[in-house]
Structure 1
Amino acid sequence: MTTSPGHSEEPNASNDRHKTRATRTRQRLLDTLYLLAIEKDFRDITVQELFEKAGVARSTFYAHFRDKEDMLVAGYESIGTPATRIISVAGVESVILDVARWLFTATERHATLTTAFFNSPSQTVILAHLENILLIQVREHYRSQGIYQLNELRGEVAVRCFVGALSGLWLWWVRHDYPHPATEMIQHFDALMNNGTWP
């Protein structure tokens, strides 16, 4: 490939640097939120406190996030998305969403932060965001597998029962200070809910 005089590949390098800088700034803001959440209730953290402690301008904060709750969603999304895997039950293969592994493993890795969030008065706000993310993930997976048909009550019931079971078990585990390893929790949840008979 040839370039005309006065033009070079520099814009791509500049774009890459800008994206890298933006990613670092976004992560710095999220890390600041996590550190503050360990010290105080989520409701008591102000946007001004966030951008000042992160060392960024107010406009920079709003270039990345709408508000504190948007940061919560971004924090869950930064964990990544659950993988799928194939299981075989009685010779029939099924594709399952490995959402229990996604949730329990990430929680165990960030236990201090999770404990701080769920021992605070703001836990209902935080839990609502988590449940919404789980509902979206499971609903989309069920749709892709033909389990959930749009406007069908049965599909929505299956989604909400699955997410209710997962979030209920997960909350019990968090509130009892992680009495069993994440691997054990995943194993028992999968044996019950992902053995090919659900939904």
Structure 2
Amino acid sequence: MDERIARTRLRLAHALIALGRTRDLEDIRVGDLVKAAGVGRSTFYAHFRNRDDFLGQSFAGMIAACDSAARREGLSSDILPVAHVVMHIAGNDAFSRRVAPSRSMEVMLAAGERKLRLIAEANLEKLAAGLHPEERRQTAAFLAGAFIGQLRLWLQNDFRTAPETLIVSHRRLAAGVLGSITAAPPSPVPFDRKPAHVP
């Protein structure tokens, strides 16, 4: 990405967090964002279709930055950058507490899940090279969806779980998944009949 574009996106993301510390997310409009970020409205619409697109891309961008940091720090055994994402959210708790009850949370989590699935697929290709591509894809979807479910629960329950507990829990569960798919080749279980409830 062009450095100028990256700077613009970062300024908008910082403006969102600053505004979101004191205002409900649903009350923050594009005009508020561009004014706080010091960018033009036309610049905003050159990068994003609308406010929801901005929210989703910003959350996915945060996850990508967390993954880059995890790789630089040598946390290569993690399939997802769980520790970095959780600690980033916890470090912005005034903003995160306002995200949780908003409609925008689902927009952000959906975009985040797509990004996490791509990250998981890429990391599984390195960590479990012998995995069939379709099994890798399914495993990545499972792990990304599970982590998003944990984040949703954590946010909706007002951070009652300590960030460290969430991180350890996900790592333990992900290790179990990775262990089960790499320990032995899966025995084929044929799907030879429809479940009774399917017409």
1:32 paired residue among 15, 32, 36: 15
1:74 paired residue among 58, 66, 72: 58
Q: TM-score, normalised to structure 2's length?
A: 0.69
What is the match of residue 4 of structure 1? none
What is the match of residue 125 of structure 1? 107
Cα distance in 2 between the residues matched to 1:189 and 1:30: 27
Q: CA deviation at 1:70?
A: 4.1
Residue deviations 1:80-116, cap 9 Å, x none?
14225578xxxxxxx4325221221111112222221
Residue deviations 1:140-185, cap 9 Å, x none?
21233425544x2x22321222122222222212211222321222
For the aligned residues, what is the CA RMSD? Answer: 3.0
What is the match of residue 146 of structure 1? 129
Uncovered stretches (5+) of structure 1, i.e. residues with no partner: 1-17, 88-94
2:164 paired residue among 183, 187, 194: 183
Normalized per residue, the structure richer in helix is 2
What is the match of residue 40 of structure 2? 57
Check the 8 A contact 1:138/1:163 in 2, yes or no. yes
Check the 8 A contact 2:34/2:41 in 1, yes or no. yes
What is the match of residue 136 of structure 2? 155
1:97 paired residue among 79, 84, 91: 79
- Structure (1 or 2) with the larger CA radius of gyration: 1
- Using a 3 Å threshold, how does the CA distance of structure 1 residues 139 and 147 change in structure 2: closer, same or farther? farther
Q: CA deviation at 1:137?
A: 1.0
Check the 8 A contact 2:154/2:160 in 1, yes or no. yes
Look up the SS of the partner of 1:190 in the other structure: helix
Aligned residues: 171
Normalized per residue, the structure richer in strand is 1
Q: TM-score, normalised to structure 1's length?
A: 0.69
Cα distance in 1 between the residues matched to 2:79 and 2:156: 25
Q: CA deviation at 1:188?
A: 2.4
Uncovered stretches (5+) of structure 2, i.e. residues with no partner: 182-199
